[in-house]
Amino acid sequence: MSLLKDRGRSAVSRSGVIYRGLRQAISDHALLPGDKLPEDTIGERFGASRTLVREALMRLKAEGLVDMQPNRGAAVARPSLDEARHIFAARACLEREVMATLAVSITPRQLAALEAQVEKERDADGKDGLESIRFAGAFHVLLAEMSGNRVVARYVDELVSRCALIIALYGQPHASDCAVSEHRSIIEALRERNGAQAAKLMAHHLGEVEGRALLAQPSRRPDIGDILGRYALRRPRPATGAKAASESPEAGRENRRR
């Protein structure tokens, strides 16, 4: 491989590290809606040029997680209430479809993997707010991946991140996102291959999450450089969030989940 190609690949992966770091920080509620994302501070923390930072920010903008205004720079997106409702509605459509597919195709191995994921949620419940948020989101992403439809999985992943943003913006302090018991009922319906029941439970569950998410007020912010310092050293996020426990930055937002 030529030196030029090597350089090209290394730049892409560097930009990917920034993208994944910022995306995870947003999902974790470490970065909150409206937080400024100065290219120079990000570049400094990640040891990357502004060009690479901008690439990462453009990707996040395409996913609806970042707003970029001429002359005002980038900031974590602040979805309006209407937009937030549309995001939840789109997520509910896709996840109902995932239930219908999985009720037909699910295997014992996949059921075991779902149970293991919910066990992680239960263990983190009430102990580590950051892990709770990650594991809860990972359950939904895992379901979508198991459906075998990569397009749906990609959009569910994106919408789960945007919902985390909405919960950060409008959710009450200590509001829960996903309840472990609701996830368990969904697994049971899938085990019985009852697609209608699984879809109904998922719709109810997401309705509950939305109800808890669209409630209250934004809160105060710590220094952006301090937040980014924790994410600049991170490795790529595992696809299902299954290994997230070993990669957690130490500090997180306070527990937002029962």
Q: Give me the least distance between CB of 75 and Zn ion, in Å please.
A: 27
Quote the least distance from Cβ 257 to Zn ion, whole Å: 10
Nearer to Zn ion, 57 or 156 (CB): 156
Minimum distance from residue 59 beta carbon to Zn ion (Å): 25
Pairwise CA distance, residues 65 & 25, whole Å: 11
Asked if 178 touches Zn ion (CB under 5 A), the answer is yes
Select 17 or 178, whichever has its Cβ closest to Zn ion: 178
Q: Are 55 and 15 in contact (CB under 8 A)?
A: yes
Judged by CB under 5 A, the stretch of 8-16, 25-33, 43-51, 174-182 that binds Zn ion is 174-182
CB of 179 vs Zn ion, minimal distance in Å: 7
Closer residue to Zn ion, CB minimum distance, 75 or 179: 179
Rounded least distance, CB 206 to Zn ion, Å? 7
Please, which residue, 101 or 132, has the CB nearer to Zn ion?
Answer: 132
Nearer to Zn ion, 60 or 178 (CB): 178
Least distance (Å) between residue 208 CB and Zn ion:
9
Q: 97-126: which residues touch Zn ion (CB under 5 A)?
A: none
Q: Smaller CB distance to Zn ion: residue 206 or 228?
A: 206
Contacting Zn ion within 216-255 (CB under 5 A) = none
Instruction: Pick the piece of the chain touching Zn ion (CB under 5 A) from 10-18, 112-120, 155-163, 173-181.
Output: 173-181
Least distance in Å: CB of 117 to Zn ion?
11
> Does residue 56 contact residue 25 with C-beta atoms inside 8 Å?
no
Residue 166 to residue 88: CA distance in whole angstroms: 9
Kindly determine how many residues on this chain lie close enough to bind Zn ion according to the rule CB under 5 A.
1
Nearer to Zn ion, 175 or 178 (CB): 178
Interface region with Zn ion, contact rule CB under 5 A, candidates 100-108, 151-159, 171-179, 194-202:
171-179
Burial class (CB in 10 A: 0-12, 13-18, 19+), 91: buried
Q: Give the interface with Zn ion as residue ranges (CB under 5 A).
A: 178
